[in-house]
Amino acid sequence: MKKTITGAAFILFAALTSTTVLAAPDEQKLEKQMYDLKQELDDLKKSKIFDLEFGGRIQADFNYFQGAYNAGRAGDPGSDFFPRRIRTYVESVHGDWDHKLLLDFADGGGEIVLARVRYKGFGNGLKVQAGKLWEEISLNGRTSSKHIATISRSSLANTMAPYFSWGASANQYFEDSGIRYAVGVYRNEAFGAVGQNVDANGVDNGVLALALTGRLTWQKDLQDGVLHLGGWYSNRDMGGRDLGARFARGEVRNTNTRLVDYVAGGSPVALNSLQQAGLEAA
């Protein structure tokens, strides 16, 4: 490929720098070379490896904490500087179809964060997608970490949002009114659930535990920004699993002392279902 491109570039350079006085056979030969060059460049444009685009980012984190957050060391000041996450992606666009795979490496391990196939060829703004998707819960949870002011989201968003789940969803934005809706069905593997229902003896019965999630938002473009209002709701099948005992970190990621247990009474309980709802404004 390098030799071909180099040869094509040389032909183009020679054509641009050659004298204007050419014999007829030379002129015809040059025209053929220019035509071949154009064809070769067109073929190169079409033969990109599936139009793949690669990218990523590295985020570093620094924590400084003391008092109750470092109670394990008698309240002495503590700090830590570490790579928060390394994310890399590959994506492609083919007409009305697009695909994206996002990988995350953090805390000594790696995972598939997003694996999406999306179609948007309906002509009315409707988009449908399937794979491992970002559930539409909470504006703060829905916003990419590239666009939030701090490197970690609020404790409320981290407690309420499942983030990415396997499933299928549809969304549509109406540009004239500023209204957007999104609905989806997902395998519930959040808040203690593992995506499977259990029988009375606690044995998996092969039935998926699903979540039905929807979100409705409205936005208005202002002279100096955007006004955003919205709400969301999720009904999640917990499959008889214990509700996971999440603890609020108080925005400090690495401290080993957690201050608040979000489960009332401090003990996890078994649930058949979980309903969540929230309002958002920005």
CB-CB contact of 79 with 113 (8 Å): no
Is the pTM higher than 0.85? The answer reads no
**How far is residue 129 CA from its own chain's centroid?**
13
Q: For 155-197, what is each residue's pLDDT tens digit? A: 778 788 899 999 999 999 999 999 999 999 999 999 989 999 9
Mean pLDDT of the chain: 83
User: CB count, 10 Å around CB of 83?
Assistant: 12
Q: Which pLDDT belongs to residue 60?
A: 83
